[in-house]
Amino acid sequence: MSFRQWPVALFVAAFSIAAYGADHLQEIRQRGVLLWGADAEGGAPYVYPDPEKPDRLIGFECELAEALAGKLGVKARMVQNQWDQLIPALERGDFDVILNGLEITPQNRQRVAMSRPYYVYAQQIVTRKESHGMTSMDELKGKSVGVLSGSAASRLDGLRVCDLRTYPGNVQSFQDLKAHRIEAVVLDLPIALYYAKPDTELKFSGAAFAPGYYGIGIRKEDTTLLAALNQAIQELAEDRTLERIYIKCGLWDERQASLKEYKAEQIAESKRISTLREWPKYLPMLLRAAAITVGLSIIAMALAIVAGLVIVLLRLYSVAPLRWLARAYVEVVRGTPLLIQLFLLYYGLPQIGIKLNAFLAGILGLGLNYAASEAENYRAGIQSIPSGQSEAALALGMTRWQTTRHIILPQAVRVVIPPVTNDFIAMFKDSSIVSVISMVELTKMYGILALSTYDFLGLGLMTAAIYFGLSYPASIFAHWLEKRLRYVK
């Protein structure tokens, strides 16, 4: 064997080991339990905690899992896993199958084997009761539209021309719709049926469109398990068990009739997407998202720099109650997670009548959070100025405030430039956290595009390059500023 063939040989060896330990059907039967991965958090009507008895899970996929397991002669047990991380968890071996609204798409098929479909879903536009129009994708152009992060809707090409907002769960998107923060929500029909249909403030706008299939995700090497599950689904379709479950859950429609006649060829085979090769299509989307990251970081940092100064001046030079307040602010803000602060600002404040839009909430959240760190940076800077400086100023007859303003702060500014620059660059990257309050900034756009193309590498390189391209000039600028402000030029 020549030197060059070694890597190939290793690759083949690794694969045959995987294949050897591969077929889990035997193991599942011995174990007597089928482990199925799903996310019960906000998971209605698929799988979710029973509102009456929260320690029990219900939902149509629960019943389906039991029916399938029955066909295999075993019991079913659900394994909780965050929805957008189900495929990596399956690959890791955390459970045997994914049964949680996983769409049969070319992208998913690149990474896992998909069973024949067990449900036909479609996309539904939901708006407020009083809204007009917006009955089709074309009419959504330019409107602010909410989708569930990583959902089929988030990959609809038509939504790229909307002001897209992504949400970690379904409850938040409908809350924002009702709060007039967005104009419409596009989502899988079963979810719409469960959450939006009974809600008198909301309505279905237009007919469902873009049908697709849910299938069971299985590791590619588990070929006999795949065959057994396909067999089981077919039987459940033919003996009308599926129909019975879906009618019971209010999810039956005429589309489901096609499940019996499904042919595997109906779904085109995947072709590999290289976003690097097709960069003119993807880079502009990333750059537009980067503009949001930049705008957000710059405004939030400006707020932090000014608010931090006010806080430190109160803390060091003001009277007792204000001094304590400033100190308490720093401690409380530093002692609580930014994530919670953002949730409070965006989802919490509306309960007392204050509705901030996502951008404003993001700026306030990041800015007020970083203000606490900036205040601490300033405090360290101010306290690093020798006491002889303020003594000299006081001896010249300056007041405390004049001393601070003309002698201490100008010197402290030079001391705090490096830590404040560090914070700015950190904020730049931290700003991606605002995706939890529905904003689509650079990291979120990366996530959306990566999940729709599965080119994590190519998009990741582009995204990292954009971040670096933006933060490196910032540190160059800081160096220049430091040099410029040195006492002796």
Partner 1 sequence: MITVENLIKSYNSLRVLDGVCHAQERGEAVVIIGPSGCGKSTFLRCLNQLETPDSGRITINGTTVAAGSGAGNEEEQLRRGLRLSAGMVFQSFNLFPHLTALENVTQAPIVVKGESRSQAETRALQLLAKVGLESKAAAYPAQLSGGQQQRVAIARALAMQPLVMLFDEPTSALDPELRDEVLQVMRQLAEEGMTMIVVTHEMQFARDMADRVLFFEGGRILEAGTPDQIFLNPQQERTKEFLRKVAVR
Instruction: Provide the binding-site residues for partner 1, judged by CB under 8 A.
Output: 386, 388-389, 391-399, 402, 406-407, 410-411, 414, 487-488
Minimal distance in Å, beta carbon 407 to partner 1?
Answer: 6
**Both structure tokens of 442:** 């650079």
3-class secondary structure, 215: coil
* Contact present, 216 and 222 (Cβ < 8 Å): no
Nearer to partner 1, 394 or 417 (CB): 394
Strands 57-58 and 48-49: antiparallel
What span, in angstroms and rounded, lies between the C-alpha atoms of 229 and 70?
11
Of 191 and 416, which CB lies nearer to partner 1 in the complex structure? 416
∠ CA 294-299-301, nearest 5°, is 95
The smaller minimum CB distance to partner 1, of residues 200 and 387, is found at: 387
- Cβ nearer to partner 1, comparing 244 with 414: 414
Contact in structure between 125 and 286 (CB atoms under 8 Å): no
In the complex, the smallest distance separating the C-beta of residue 325 from partner 1, rounded to whole angstroms, is: 21
- CB 409, min distance to partner 1, A: 10
In the complex with partner 1, the residue whose CB is nearer, 234 or 411, is 411
Count of positions (residues) in the chain: 489
Shortest spacing between CB 394 and partner 1, in angstroms: 6
Strands 97-98 and 33-38: what pairing? parallel
Burial class (CB in 10 A: 0-12, 13-18, 19+), 219: buried
Which residue stretches of 38-155 are H helix?
A: 60-72, 86-92, 106-111
Shortest Cβ 421–partner 1 spacing (Å): 19
CA distance 72 to 113: 18
Would you say 49 and 89 are in contact if contact means Cβ atoms under 8 Å apart? no
Of 239 and 391, which has the nearer Cβ to partner 1?
391
Compute the distance between CA of residue 186 and CA of residue 124 in angstroms, rounded to an integer.
6
Which residue's CB is nearer to partner 1, number 339 or number 392?
392
Minimum CB–partner distance for residue 390 and partner 1 (Å):
9
Contact 103, 46 (CB under 8 A): no
Q: Which helix (H) or strand (E) holds 48?
A: strand 48-49
Nearest approach in angstroms of CB 308 to partner 1 is 21
Q: With respect to partner 1, which residue has the nearer C-beta, 31 or 405?
A: 405
Which is nearer to partner 1, 411 or 475 (by Cβ)?
411
- Which tokens in the block code for residue 105? 């798409």
> Among residues 352 and 395, whose Cβ is nearest to partner 1?
395
Among 40, 44, 191, 42, CA closest to 126: 191
Those residues whose C-beta lies under 8 Å from the C-beta of residue 417, and which sit 6 or more positions away, are 478, 481, 482, 485
Q: Cβ 401 to partner 1, closest distance in Å?
A: 10
Q: Are strands 184-188 and 144-148 parallel, antiparallel or unpaired?
A: parallel
d(CA 363, CA 368): 8
In whole angstroms, the minimum distance from the beta carbon of 353 to partner 1 comes to 41
Q: In whole angstroms, how close is the CB of 484 to partner 1 at the nearest point?
A: 12
Which helix (H) or strand (E) segment holds residue 327: the answer is: helix 320-334
The amino acid occupying position 273 is I
Residue 413 CB, nearest approach to partner 1 (Å): 9
**Residue 291 or 392 having the CB closest to partner 1:** 392
